[in-house]
């Protein structure tokens, strides 16, 4: 008898914008620069831990968070690199990911990328358009 396979496909209702940031600064220094230059108020949040059963270890990624309660938007500055791997392996050239949850207009996002590129500690920044399901899974928390 043939084995039946049922696949459950789940789509997240969560909408967010991702911006890739290349910077050789430490996470806390970059968050400080965001606070100074963009007038945001990032604070250190609980680190993101991804378990890797095959490697028998956990990957830990630093996270800084800012809640813009006035505009109902949450900003997360997440390190893409840990001591033992990448949060989003297909973006190995990206040091940090800025995840923005909430209703943000396209023009606002473009302006934000332009402002980030002008920052002293940032080499480049860009809107992340395509990302694998595995990469997305790691960014939903």
Q: For position 115, which CATH number holds?
A: 3.30.310
Residue-level pLDDT at 5: 65
Residue numbers of the domain that contains 96: 16-136
- Structure-block tokens of residue 20: 């890739």
Helix then strand count (H, E) for the chain reads 3, 10
Residue 8 lies in a domain: no
Residue 4 lies in a domain: no
Single out the residue of 79, 122, 72 nearest to residue 99, CA to CA.
79
Residue 46 lies in a domain: yes
Full-model pTM: 0.83
Domain count, the chain: 1
Going residue by residue through the chain (141 aa), what tens digit of pLDDT does each one get? 566 665 544 444 457 899 999 999 999 999 999 999 999 999 999 999 988 766 678 889 999 999 998 888 999 999 999 988 899 989 999 999 999 998 888 888 899 999 999 998 999 999 998 877 767 777 776
User: Do the beta carbons of residue 19 and residue 100 sit within 8 Å?
Assistant: yes
């Amino acid at each position: 008898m043939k084995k039946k396979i049922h696949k459950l496909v789940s789509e997240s209702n969560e909408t967010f914008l991702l911006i890739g940031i290349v910077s050789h600064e430490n996470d806390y220094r970059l968050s400080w620069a965001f606070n100074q230059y963009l007038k945001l108020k990032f604070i250190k949040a609980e680190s993101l831990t991804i378990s890797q059963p095959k490697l028998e270890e956990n990957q830990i990624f630093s996270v800084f968070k800012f809640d813009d309660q006035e505009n109902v938007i949450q900003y997360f500055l997440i390190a893409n690199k840990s001591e033992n791997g990448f949060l989003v392996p297909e973006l190995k050239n990206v040091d940090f990911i800025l995840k923005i949850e909430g209703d943000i207009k396209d023009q606002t996002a473009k302006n934000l990328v332009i402002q980030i590129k002008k920052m002293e500690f940032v080499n480049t920044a860009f809107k992340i358009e395509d990302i694998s399901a595995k990469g997305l899974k790691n960014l939903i928390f």
